[in-house]
Structure 1
Amino acid sequence: MSENEKIALVDSPTSSWSVTETVNGSHEFVIQGYSLAKGMGIGKHIASENFTVGGYQWAVYFYPDGKNPEDNSTYVSLFIALTSEGSDVRALFELTLVDQSGKEKHKVHSHFDRSLESGPYTLKYRGSMWGYKRFYRRALLETSDYLKDDCLKINCTVGVVVSSTHCPRLHSIQVPESDIGSNFGMLLENMEGSDVIFNVAGEMFHAHKLVLAARSHVFGSDFFGQEGDDHEIVIADMEPRVFKAMLHFIYRDELNEDELATSSASSESCLADTLLAKLLAAADEYDLCRLKRMCESHICKDISVSSVGRILALADTYHAMELKAICLKFASENLAAVMQSDGFEYLKSNYPSLQSEILNIVAGCEEGYSSGGGGGGKTLSVCAQLSDGGDTNSRRVRQRT
């Protein structure tokens, strides 16, 4: 090949692009007992629970007496703080004091609407804050519609700035979703290769020993840990509908939501008779941890002042520790109302140790509050009040009959 006939090889052009955007998240911070928080001192704050946005943790700090000593408590201060480790975290912020009159005249300080003018704010390290030392004049706040029933509501929005670089993909192959649950579900439905039959109150269920043993060590011990090869096993302590729902989970790794919906209880007093409650018991008996957690998650949605006592008893009975912790926290935070419910009377009669756990949490919170020096010596013992049957105003709570 002559020089004139040589073919020049040219690389194809490539491209990429960078995308910068915000990952946004919001948090509502409710401050009850504003008048009691006053006087805690300039530079001292009330903090919200930590919340996560963009992979970082944040908190709202409210200063009832202001953050700036020079202002002599004329203003309340409000800030958003970075509470996790991080450096040079760039973010946009918005703080809103909610108008509780329904007129929607909220007081909003927003970084979002001026982001193009000044750019995102950079927080250098853990503890860095964005906000206002003079967020609102305290005298005006206390006569405004922002304060209702001695309560303030603050909404906080954080937008963490993230950047990513992309390049076009010349080829791609779509991978289908996993169908292993569907396949095993069909195995259960058509009973192909089944080698064990469960007799549950006269209703027969065909299943596969290896599948059940792989999912539950309790089944594994029953099948392979003892002599004998029983083809039929009698389940004496479970309803057919519960066993069916448990098998559905074992094979498909999911709950039958339609079955749960049609089997829901008509009132809180029937909690123990619901399919969810009995499925929780089955999950505990056969050590199906994921099934137990799924039941806890569903039952957790029904926690209320009237139901928390019975849900707490259920959680304690079947070792549902996540659900129990949430119930204890809810009951301790709403104690005055919970004490007057049938569920609390149920605990007193049947689970006195759980009642004690609630009171211990309340007493611990009270001790922590009193140790701050703010008139703790005048605070009556919560345990003393409750063990005597009285409410938080030392009035007797009428015993239910």
Structure 2
Amino acid sequence: MAASASASASETSSTWVTETGSGSHRFTVTGYSLTKGIGVGKPISSGIFTVGAHDWSVKFFPDGYTQDAADCVSLFLALESDAADVRAVFNLTLLDHAGKPSTSTPTDRQPKSFKRGVERGFSRFIERSRLESNFLKDDCLVVHCTVTVLKESRLQVPNSCSTKPRPSDLHLHLERLLESGEGTDVTFRVGGEAFSAHRWLLAARSPVFKAELFGEMKEKNLQSIEIKDMEAVVFKALLHFVYSDALPRSEELACNGSSTVMLQHLLAAADRYGLERLKLICEDELCADIHISTAATTLVLAEQHRCGQLKTACLEFMACPDVLSAVVQTDGFEHLRISCPSALKELLEKLSKMIVIANVK
């Protein structure tokens, strides 16, 4: 009698993986007409932004990259980090009047190799006449850049016996500790409201709180501490960050309908208590949300709290005659004129240089 054997089928798999880091940057050129005549091969550079642990910038050539491209504008991506052989895929596009990316400008989805000082892009990106007809709005031009940096490549073989650890939930436990009030040993009175907290955590997160609560300051032995010159809603957001390392939800950030005002106050509070990460987060959020109604007050804030990136963003936003004319009509401009004359002087000097460049054509 023949014996039959059965074998159970099995299937395995493997995957070749290339790790990437992706990000985007929006570069707005205000007063576009003033940039014409700057000269062939002379760029206007965006602020430096970070993608994939490397620093980048967008280079915009209003009069073309070379003489044979003088009838076009040129767009390039440049690596600003001190590195070599950084491989990346990038896309440069213009936003039309409706704020949508153009589908008619050149693209190249092949990875390119960068080193510091190397520019990759398009010498004949778009004819100047077509750009001015289809992509200018209030004499402003918006360039959108996406970058994907190619990192380590490796073979990934699943291990059926492995168990991937869950993401850290430490912040959730600390948030619940704050909400419950269990074990609190100090109370802050701010704007008529009381907030209980834990001395040890405050001291661990803020050098200022550490000095107040465990140093030689008078607050060391106090159970209740009064904080002046700060609104209760701002201190509540500050405590939320201390315990969670994140901003409150967007609806909680709205102060009288404006998250910008709340972020301004929170940045000042972060600087007051030495919370550098919170300060940088607020600065980054404000850089992406500059409006005519808030530009002047944001510039004052940047000057008073040593926020270089935010100051540069405000100056570039207002360095356009039409924009500055509108900003002058706001209440915040008078505050800027009185409290920060040096920043106002820088703004006027930047504007005058742009006008001189336009007149040298």
Query: Which one of the candidate residues 349, 356, 359 is aligned to 1:363?
Result: 349
Q: Which amino acid aligns with 2:314?
A: C
Query: Which one of the candidate residues 95, 105, 116 is aligned to 1:108?
Result: 105
1:393 counterpart residue number: none
Query: Which one of the candidate residues 286, 311, 327 is aligned to 2:298?
Result: 311
Structure (1 or 2) with the larger CA radius of gyration: 1
What stretches of structure 2 of length at least 5 have no aligned partner? 1-11
Q: Assess, with a 3 A threshold, how the Cα gap between structure 1 residues 162 and 177 changes in structure 2: closer, same or farther.
A: closer
Q: How does 1:1-400 map to 2 (within 5 A)?
A: 18-19=16-17, 43-49=40-46, 55=54, 57=56, 59-62=58-61, 64=63, 67-68=66-67, 75-76=71-72, 78=74, 80=76, 82-84=78-80, 107-112=104-109, 126-127=117-118, 129-132=120-123, 141=130, 145=134, 164-170=153-159, 171-200=161-190, 203-226=193-216, 230=221, 232-237=223-228, 238-257=230-249, 260-261=252-253, 264-266=255-257, 271=261, 276-300=263-287, 302-317=289-304, 322-333=309-320, 334-348=323-337, 350-351=338-339, 354-364=340-350, 366-367=352-353, 370=356, 375=360
1:31-58 residue CA offsets vs partner (Å, 9 max, x unmatched): 66676666665x5344442666665736
Larger CA deviation: 169-178 vs 199-208? 199-208
Q: What is the TM-score normalised by the length of structure 1?
A: 0.62
What is the CA distance between 1:232 and its match in structure 2? 2.4
SS at match of 2:118: coil
1:129-160 residue CA offsets vs partner (Å, 9 max, x unmatched): 45355x6677x759965678777666666666
Distance 2:252 2:342 in 1: 33
Q: Which amino acid aligns with 2:154?
A: T
Distance 1:331 1:219 in 2: 37
SS at match of 2:319: helix
| Counterpart contact for 2:185–2:223, Cα < 8 Å | no
What is the CA distance between 1:214 and its match in structure 2? 1.9
SS at match of 1:260: helix
RMSD: 4.8
| Counterpart contact for 1:18–1:163, Cα < 8 Å | no
1:175-211 residue CA offsets vs partner (Å, 9 max, x unmatched): 1222222222333333333333445566544333222
| Counterpart contact for 1:99–1:107, Cα < 8 Å | no
Distance 1:47 1:279 in 2: 32
SS at match of 2:182: coil
Q: What is the TM-score normalised by the length of structure 2?
A: 0.67
Distance 2:131 2:223 in 1: 73
Q: Which amino acid aligns with 1:187?
A: L
- Higher RCO structure (Cα 8 Å, ≥6 apart): 2
SS at match of 1:220: helix
Q: Which amino acid aligns with 2:319?
A: S
Q: Assess, with a 3 A threshold, how the Cα gap between structure 1 residues 130 and 326 changes in structure 2: closer, same or farther.
A: closer
Larger CA deviation: 183-192 vs 236-245? 236-245
Q: Assess, with a 3 A threshold, how the Cα gap between structure 1 residues 254 and 356 changes in structure 2: closer, same or farther.
A: same
Distance 1:102 1:179 in 2: 38
SS at match of 1:290: helix
Q: Percent identity?
A: 37
What stretches of structure 1 of length at least 5 have no aligned partner? 1-13, 377-401
Distance 1:126 1:163 in 2: 23
Distance 2:246 2:329 in 1: 38
Larger CA deviation: 210-219 vs 141-150? 141-150
Distance 1:204 1:30 in 2: 44
The number of residue pairs the alignment matches comes to 342
SS at match of 1:173: coil
Distance 1:225 1:169 in 2: 52
Larger CA deviation: 150-159 vs 76-85? 150-159
Distance 2:58 2:170 in 1: 42
What is the CA distance between 1:235 and its match in structure 2? 0.5
Q: Assess, with a 3 A threshold, how the Cα gap between structure 1 residues 60 and 356 changes in structure 2: closer, same or farther.
A: closer
Larger CA deviation: 95-104 vs 122-131? 95-104
1:383 counterpart residue number: none
